[in-house]
A and B are shown apart, each in its own frame.
Chain A
Amino acid sequence: MKLFVFPRWTNKIRQIAGLGLGVAPLYLTAIVWYGFSPKTVDAGYMPKQPIPYSHQLHVGELGIDCKYCHNTVDKAAHAAVPSTATCMNCHSRVRAKSPKLELLRESCEWSDETRTCRDDGKPIPWVKVHDLPDYVYFNHSAHVSRGVGCVSCHGRVDQMVEVYQKEPLSMGWCLDCHRAPEQHLRPVSEVTNMTWQAPGDAVEFGTKLRAENNINPPEDCSTCHR
């Protein structure tokens, strides 16, 4: 019987296959690990907004407090996007004819007599930046009223010409803080302060605040998934 022997060149395939089988899992792991991570795919999301509203100008330079516009943030789950009437408090006079604000005036239909907007129910189509999945119930007031600063999750909005998502907003990212909230706690009066620094060691100060205010974030599934 004539024996079958693979031709000599097939030895090369074996080496290449060995290399592939050894390296491919590492490569795939790295691709999935970094490529599919919310840090890669979600953080940095900066959609184009219908009006080129600059937080850098309004917050950073003019010093408007977060809660002037997002006024429900410490009372409700949802941080309100302001009605156009809020914008028109200033923009009925300031830059009232700017072409960039065309959409704002259209939405508002300003009445000089009443000095308010006629509400025709046509809002400005802002694009939501920080969009959690529908199966997550996030409550802004629960966090803000316990001293988690806006900047902790949203970054330095006062420096953003266009708002983008700074953090990954992944479940693991939420749990990082729920398991050790002291790293992000501050006095409730300072939550909207973008530049607040803890006196002394931040974690030590946070631990003190945590004990004083009895802050024990739950980690049950039903805390966020109801």
Chain B
Amino acid sequence: MAAISDVNPFVQPPKGDNDFARVTDNVSRIAEVNRPPRAWYIAFGISTSLLGLFGISVAYLFWEGIGIWGNMNPSYWGFPIVNFVFWVGIGHAGTLISAILYLMRQTWRTAINRFAEAMTIFAVICAAVFPGLHVGRPWLPYWMFPIPNQMQMWPQFRSPLEWDVFAVGTYATVSLLFWYMGMIPDLATFRDRSTSPLRRALYGAFAMGWRGSSRQWHRYERAYLLLAALATPLVLSVHSVVSFDFATSQMPGWHTTIFPPYFVAGAIFGGFAMVVTLAVPARQFFGLKRIITINHLELMSKIILATGMMVGYAYGMEFFIAWYSGSAYEGFALLNRAVGPFAWSYWAMIFCNVVTPQVFWFKSMRRNVWVIFFVGVLVNIGMWFERFVIIVTSGSRDFLPASWGYFIPTAWDFATLAGSFGLFFTLFLLFCRYLPMVAMAEVKAFVPAAHASGDHH
């Protein structure tokens, strides 16, 4: 065990330096106070109720089978896959912030990267639930993994659905490692500030003996850089592979080469929308306005505007190619989206994803937390509708008019969707309460005090 003498000033801030101390205090206090703010209790009550609804939905699903959902000929994928793609997409902002923005030296990321990474983990958990439920045989999802077995049966490696298993699995693993490793110095801070033996033991165990020696910092920085380099391709690969579920099929409206970049842009768009949706209340209720500043929110609004424009471009390009290709089926599929029986969902998507972000052209809007919050919520709704439009409208009207149909979700579809939000927010609120919400050690590297005697970082 490391000697106490090599304690790092980041873990125990030097006396008289109020800036370092204030960062530590601001962040640690959230987890140390006996009672979190009332808003936390209200939010936690709602979230756990929804989580209970999720439990009931899943229990009834296992009892009765997937007939309780609206998935029916010809829309076999329905809500479960819409929700899966939606939740996988949410996670992307976390990975982008932690990996790409890190490699690009975007230091403002330090204020938001920790909870964006946490959001990634929880979103991937929500996403992973849905394919597991959708297979309809809850005792068999292990068949998705290439485990040697007495049946000598292997997954279909040629199927993009199987690539998904690997893409999302890699993503979850790397994100979890990244999140946890980044948290170690902050967990050590929590350990050292703890007064109760239980908290000391738990934070201490998870801090894995971190003392903040320069050797530890040196290795930490190396490992962080390596993980960032590993995670960077994942930002692009995961949702590209998810888009292959559609793009490699021959279904009109799915069989398009634009899907991988279009999905990635949409994922980052939706992910940042979720980050601001979480950041605005979090900084308000936990007193983090000095760390997550309005400048950070403005930068994120700009990213939402930029990625929203990319998504809008993709919507337009789909129509252009449908016309330019001369494919009758492709042309019909796209027209059917805009004026067919599901046109309401298409125009809901266009309004939320293309129209609402345009308010961010105005600086006053980008600096108004209410506007940012509501645009974030609307974009999340819009991105859910985007997946609904892709999955349901294409599937319900394919080549043969004889097999056309209309998709009607059931109450259980909505219960499961709402329940997955319960799962997500319950995990997120527990994270806010018990773990360092902001990467203290990283923020400190960029506070003015860290540069008082020149830049040595």
Interface residues of A (CB under 8 A from B): 1, 3-6, 8, 11, 37-38, 168, 170-173, 175-176
B149 engages A172 (CB within 8 Å): yes
A170 engages B1 (CB within 8 Å): no
B204 engages A4 (CB within 8 Å): yes
Q: How far is the CA of A3 from the CA of B204 in the complex (A)?
A: 11
Question: Number of contact residues on B: which range applies?
Answer: 10 to 19
A38 engages B150 (CB within 8 Å): yes
B1 engages A6 (CB within 8 Å): yes
Main secondary structure of the interface of B (DSSP, over half): loop
Q: How far is the CA of A172 from the CA of B147 in the complex (A)?
A: 13
Point out the residues of chain A lying under 8 angstroms from B192, CB to CB.
Answer: 1, 3-4
Confirm or deny: B151 has a beta carbon within 8 angstroms of a beta carbon on chain A: yes
A170 engages B150 (CB within 8 Å): yes
Point out the residues of chain A lying under 8 angstroms from B191, CB to CB.
Answer: 4
- How many cross-chain pairs have Cβ atoms below 8 Å apart between A and B? 36
Point out the residues of chain A lying under 8 angstroms from B7, CB to CB.
Answer: 3
B4 engages A6 (CB within 8 Å): no
Interface contacts beyond A4-B200, A171-B151: sample of 16 additional A-B pairs, CB < 8 Å, sorted by A: A1-B193, A3-B7, A3-B192, A4-B191, A4-B192, A5-B1, A6-B1, A11-B1, A37-B150, A168-B150, A171-B152, A171-B153, A172-B150, A172-B152, A173-B150, A176-B152
Q: Which 5 A-B pairs have the closest CB atoms?
A: A172-B152, A171-B151, A170-B150, A4-B200, A172-B150
Known contacts A171-B150, A171-B153, A172-B152; A3 and B194 CB within 8 A of each other? no
Q: How far is the CA of A144 from the CA of B85 in the complex (A)?
A: 51
Point out the residues of chain B lying under 8 angstroms from A173, CB to CB.
Answer: 150
What's the minimum C-beta distance from B250 to chain A, rounded to whole angstroms? 23
A170 engages B151 (CB within 8 Å): yes
Q: How far is the CA of A168 from the CA of B152 in the complex (A)?
A: 13
Confirm or deny: B48 has a beta carbon within 8 angstroms of a beta carbon on chain A: no
Point out the residues of chain A lying under 8 angstroms from B356, CB to CB.
Answer: none
Known contacts A8-B1, A11-B1; A3 and B150 CB within 8 A of each other? no
What's the minimum C-beta distance from A59 to chain B, rounded to whole angstroms? 30
Point out the residues of chain B lying under 8 angstroms from A4, CB to CB.
Answer: 191-192, 194, 200, 204
Q: Which residue of B lies closest to A175 (CB)?
A: B152
What's the minimum C-beta distance from B302 to chain A, rounded to whole angstroms? 41
